[in-house]
């Protein structure tokens, strides 16, 4: 089912995500305020960050760093 939200990243009405991609309260906030298009832009940026900084998603410190980058990107 398609749902529209006001995307705080794109600053306009846009199609919302189909489900919550990220866990917890932050994930809920992203689900409610970040569109599919904006999430897609983050995924591309995330890939660049992971590769440039040689991050491992098995490493808790690297995951926290990536989360901080995501918060800066969206908010």
Provide the pLDDT for residue 30.
97
| pTM for the whole structure | 0.91
- Which CATH number is associated with domain 4-74? 1.10.3880.10
Mean pLDDT on 1-21: 95
Rg (CA), the chain: 13
In whole angstroms, give the CA distance from residue 28 to residue 23.
7
pLDDT at 1: 72
Is residue 14 within 8 Å of 32, Cβ to Cβ?
A: no
């Amino acid at each position: 089912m398609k749902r529209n939200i006001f995307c705080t990243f794109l600053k306009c009405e846009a199609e919302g995500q189909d489900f919550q991609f990220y866990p917890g309260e932050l994930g809920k906030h992203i689900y409610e305020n970040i569109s599919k298009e904006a999430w897609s832009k983050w995924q591309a940026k995330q890939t660049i960050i992971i590769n440039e900084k040689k991050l491992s998603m098995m490493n808790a410190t690297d995951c926290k760093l990536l989360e901080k980058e995501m918060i800066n990107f969206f908010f």
